[in-house]
A and B are shown apart, each in its own frame.
Chain A
């Protein structure tokens, strides 16, 4: 019982991180119909930005803010100067392009920051809370993780539902031609969408790194989990991405706790295949089946 509770709490925390990463993928997918596999090394790079600042003696929060800001800039640059020029009609070219970017950013990080493992601080405690004489697997940093992802979700909902720029971004994502005819500068909205997605991705990088180790491939597994979470949620729906992240976090935590931690990625693969083959539109698909 105790172990199950611990496992579920760990899963909840992890699930929130996957949800954040899935959210980043979904934002980009909605805007440009591209799955940004390079999201992982992008988040890795921005985490290194934070690490460099923190190691130079600045506060954690300055590093945190700098990482998010550099994510914003990196996302915008990538969309404006790389993604903008890929033939959108091709299925494979955007995939290969983001993978090329994946390799480039990976190599760049190793070149600039070195390939060794470096520990990354956490702003809150990494010990579970004591209730009576049992320790709950919920840490200060875990609570911070959950709250910060929730905050991002709320901010995104507010942005998309209640602001003009959010409306323009959604219009650009759903129907570029109509949006352009109505005077929406679709190109700018896409750049903005990528920038915001990269901020959310950066947050997930910081949350994964907190209290752990950072190296150039530390996000490689997360891109898989984020993708699976996004597909669980239908790839098109931010709410679905969060739900998918939580479901995946809990499932993988159970696998890790009861089967073996090395098989977590295999379980993620199995879940992904099951969803794609049985419910291609995601767990919450209402409208139509679609081509996957």
Chain B
């Protein structure tokens, strides 16, 4: 499967562009539109993920699953911040909503199929995102930041209040459904091994990630993405061009929240629990720093950020222990690094983040060259 696809890839690239339209050959067909290109990339990514999952142990499988849900949440956030110029410090809240939805749906004796559960987690977050997004669409900069910050702090209080249904401080334990037979058979057929639950969740997570990224990439390249960028770059011009600012912003918020909800559902499965302590303000802030580190506005960047969120803590903690710190303190080295790098990126390499902000700020009137820093 893998080899076949890659030969077709190179064949497709050699063909002159005008002949692709005929679509007679598979390669030409596959690369005819951005959507098809994304799908090919997606298949390749899934193959790479299978190799990675099959060649590592259960612990690494778990980490890869974590990277997948961080990646989905970061991908959604990067669309919101990078493409639409809104900010959210509250994506942990949407992850919580997705996680609790999934946990509740998996409680019964005969839970629904996993796909249904995950779609529901995303759908509930979508609804919540629409509610918040309608309000958020009218806010800018620090006001939007403050409002979403309040959201991040408020949502974990809800399960504490409704502890009967939502488990209070302890949270809800999540029963991971058994690996479906067809899936186990398929994996066994290819690798000769039975997949454990961790590996299964790794596949599920990465499948979701790939699907999400294909959808996001297509949105970003299409008309919707152009609208978002137009709103981000210059609201006045966008409005004059007939773009409904409110609708564009709400849509970006909803898409982003939906991704966070799906990520939350996957998190609940991986962690086997949905509890308030899993969705602290830190989670929201780390997500934001992840997309800043990865380079704002790019989906591969979001994936880099997710990888950092997943793998840096262990590295940093080990380093800290080698330096003689206790476990608990060594665990703080990773956030310390995220925070510092985030600050440095904003201050010294704002081209990624600030490139568009600068364009947006200076284009209406070319403001004078500032005369250097204030004297102190």
Contact = CB atoms under 8 A, between A and B. Distances in A.
Contacts of A6: none
Given A96-B342, A100-B339, A264 B157 contact: yes
Nearest to A172: B374
A103 B285 contact: yes
Contact of B157 (A191, A231, A263, A272): A263
Interface in A203-226: 217, 220-221, 223-224
A102 B135 contact: no
Given A100-B346, A263-B157, A111 B329 contact: yes
Contacts of A85: 347
Contacts of B278: none
Given A107-B336, A227-B150, A265-B150, A93 B376 contact: no
A69 interface: no
Kindly name the residue among B153, B333, B367 whose own CB sees the greatest number of chain A CB atoms within 10 A.
Answer: B153
A263 B81 CA distance: 29
A104 B339 contact: yes
Interface in B238-271: none
B357 A90 contact: yes
Contact of B142 (A34, A87, A188, A268): A34
Interface in A80-112: 80, 82, 84-87, 89-97, 99-108, 110-111
Interface in B322-346: 325, 328-329, 332-333, 335-336, 338-340, 342-343, 346
Interface stretch (B42-50, B99-107, B180-188, B286-294): B286-294
Nearest to A99: B285
A223 B153 CA distance: 10
B210 to A, nearest CB: 28
A228 interface: yes
Given A92-B81, A97-B347, A262-B161, A103 B335 contact: yes
Contacts of B286: 103
Given A107-B336, A111-B333, A180 B140 contact: no
A224 B149 contact: yes
B18 interface: no
Contacts of B146: 35, 37, 224, 227-228, 231, 272
Interface residues of B, number: 58
A186 B169 CA distance: 49
A185 interface: yes
Given A87-B350, A93-B353, A104 B153 contact: no
Interface in B355-376: 357-358, 361-362, 367, 373-376
B328 A87 contact: no
A50 B280 CA distance: 26
A107 B335 contact: yes
A228 B150 contact: yes
Contacts of B149: 37, 223-224, 227
A56 interface: no
A186 B146 CA distance: 27
A268 B155 CA distance: 11
B343 A107 contact: no
Chain A contact residues: over half helix, strand or loop, or mixed? helix
B158 interface: yes
Given A87-B354, A262-B161, A265-B153, A292 B139 contact: yes
B314 to A, nearest CB: 16
Interface string B123-148: 00000000000010011111101110
B119 interface: no
A95 B145 contact: yes
Given A93-B353, A265-B150, A277-B135, 7 more contacts: A86-B347, A114-B328, A188-B376, A223-B149, A262-B161, A269-B150, A277-B138
Report, nearest first, the 7 A-B pairs whose CB atoms are least far apart. Answer: A187-B374, A103-B339, A91-B141, A104-B339, A100-B342, A107-B336, A100-B343
Interface of B: 81, 85, 87, 89, 135, 138-143, 145-147, 149-151, 153-155, 157-158, 160-161, 280-282, 285-286, 288-289, 292, 325, 328-329, 332-333, 335-336, 338-340, 342-343, 346-347, 350, 353-354, 357-358, 361-362, 367, 373-376
Interface of A: 29, 34-35, 37, 80, 82, 84-87, 89-97, 99-108, 110-111, 114-115, 180, 185-188, 190-191, 217, 220-221, 223-224, 227-228, 231, 260, 262-266, 268-269, 272-273, 276-277, 291-292
14 contacts: A35-B145, A37-B89, A89-B367, A91-B85, A92-B81, A92-B87, A99-B289, A115-B332, A186-B374, A224-B154, A260-B161, A263-B161, A269-B150, A272-B150
